[in-house]
Amino acid sequence: MMPHDHPHPTSRDHSEPRAAFDRLLSQVLTALDESALLTTAEVTAQIEDMEGRTPTEGAKLIARCWVDPEFRELARHDLPAAAAQIGISMPPHPVFLILENTEDLHHVVVCTLCSCYPRPILGPPPVWYKSRNYRSRVVKEPREVLAEFGTVLPAGTNLRVVDSTADCRYLVLPLRPKGTEHLAESELASLVSRDSMIGVTKVST
Amino acid sequence: MERTHDLGGLPAGKIDQTEHELTFFDKRVDALYALLTSPKKAAFTMDEVRRTVESFSQADYFGLSYYERWLKAMSLLLIEKGYVEASALDIPQASS
């Protein structure tokens, strides 16, 4: 248990790494290159793979769920198979699940222990998702946290906070906004933000 | 030594929503983590990284950046698992 009656240092997540950590990274890469475990070339390839994974890809998946009931059913039962259909490759582990928002139920995702996130679909998480303040508060006062993101849910809407783990990750399927029946799938996808797939916002037109 | 574990439910302040592009350092550490915890490499598990981060002093847990924490934890695990000699790495201590 940690005390919280004293101030903590400010997060350094908006700054460049210290020289000592830059040096450590070089040492680790050199040592791994000399071992049989990993090459720097593999690290470079992994960076390139990750750069192709962005919320834009997740938004395509959401829009397809909105327009194609069969696809939505597939996403419900086998999210990696659904993702593969729109060109997103997924690892065999961990488990990925979709959380469907309805008029009566809204979901918001957190990782209280660290930063687990549906990275293959959305890319790396934003800094605030990994922050102490989000992780601490969203499980205790989720409506206040959502309000900070500009999201006010009707009092009658249930709010479910879902905690991710290393073994199970979640993607929120936001509610399709009203009055979008005439929009094409690509136009719908352009409405879907990263934050709506985490659940801190809703999709609006 | 005090350890930091589950932060859920603890009192905390307003959420800083500033967006931050990953630096080259961040991307390389992120890639290292993905590869070393992948089933193919399986050098260590994500839970082992978390256990190591949670064993940090509060100065490190809250004072290091996210990717600095990951790099320090992975470095300690590479030594612990015998992949890398301890003498090959200069691991910054909490006060640095």
What pLDDT shows up at residue A4?
Answer: 41
Q: Does A23 fall in a domain?
A: no
Going by the DSSP 8-state scheme, the letter that residue A165 receives in this structure is B
Give the tens place of pLDDT for each residue, B4-41.
878 888 999 999 999 999 999 999 999 999 999 998 99
| Cα angle value A38/A87/B26 (rounded, 5°) | 40
Q: To the nearest whole number, what is the mean pLDDT of chain A?
A: 92
Q: Which residues from B are below 8 Å from A27, CB to CB?
A: 88-90
How far from B40 is each of A131, A167, B31, B37, B78, CA to CA, in Å? 30, 16, 14, 8, 16
The pair of three-digit structure tokens given for residue A52, joined into one six-digit string = 């192709």
Q: Is the pLDDT of residue A127 over 50?
A: yes
Give the range of the structural domain holding residue A129, as residue numbers without chain letter.
Answer: 50-198
> Would the ipTM clear 0.90, i.e. be above it?
yes
pLDDT at B43 over 80: yes
pLDDT in tens, A62-101: 999 999 999 999 999 999 999 999 999 998 889 999 999 9
- The mean pLDDT value for B46-59 works out to 92
Q: Chain A: nearest CA to B80, how far in angstroms? A: 14
Confidence label for A7 from pLDDT (cuts 50, 70 and 90): very low
Return the amino acid letter for A38.
Answer: L
Residue A24 located in a structural domain: no
Q: Is residue A35 part of a domain?
A: no
Largest alpha-carbon pair distance within chain B? 42
> Two tokens at A139?
């499980």
Number of domains in chain A: 1
Reading the block at residue A155, the tokens are: 């009092």
With a cut of 80, say whether residue A14 has pLDDT above it: no
Asked if the peptide bond before residue A80 counts as cis, ω within 30 degrees of 0, the response is no
Nearest to A58, CA basis, from A114, A112, A102, A117: A117
Percentage of chain B modeled with pLDDT above 70: 96
Classify A19 as helix, strand or coil.
helix
Over residues A26-44, the pLDDT tens digits come to: 999 999 999 889 999 999 9
Structural domain contains residue A2: no
- Residue A190 pLDDT exceeds 70: yes
Q: Considering the domain boundaries, does residue A82 fall inside one?
A: yes
Residues of chain A neighbouring B16 (CB-CB closer than 8 A): 11, 127-128, 131, 133
Best of A46, A49, A90 to disrupt the B interface by mutation (most B CBs within 10 Å)?
A46
Token pair, residue B67, equals 């990717």
Percent of chain A whose pLDDT exceeds 90: 86
**Annotated catalytic residue, options A65, A116, A164, A196:** A116
Tell me if A6 is assigned to some domain.
no
Average pLDDT over every residue of B27-56: 94
Helix (H) or strand (E) holding A158: strand A158-163
pLDDT of residue B4: 80
Structure tokens at A51: 């750069």
Catalytic residue among A11, A114, A186, A204: A114
Instruction: Please report which confidence band the pLDDT of residue B2 belongs to, taking 50, 70 and 90 as the band edges.
Output: low
Q: Is the pLDDT of residue A9 over 50?
A: no
Is B68 buried (19+), middle (13-18) or exposed (0-12) by CB count in 10 A? buried
Average pLDDT, integer, range A10-37: 85
Non-local (6+) Cβ contacts of B82 within 8 A are none
Cα B36 from Cα B41, distance rounded (Å): 5
Per the CB < 8 A criterion, the answer to whether A186 and A63 are in contact is yes
- Mean pLDDT estimate for chain B: 91
pLDDT band at B94 (very low <50, low <70, confident <90, very high): confident
**In contact, B30 and A50? CB cutoff 8 Å:** yes
| The two three-digit tokens of residue B33, written as one number | 């983590």
Band (B58; pLDDT cuts 50, 70, 90): confident
Give domain status of residue A30, yes or no: no
Any idea what the CATH number is for the domain that residue A141 is in?
3.90.330.10
CB contact under 8 A, B31 and A43: yes
d(CA B64, CA B66): 6
Alpha carbon distance A197, A56 (integer Å): 11
CB contact under 8 A, B13 and A46: no
Q: Does the pLDDT value for residue A139 go beyond 60?
A: yes
Give residue A11's pLDDT: 56
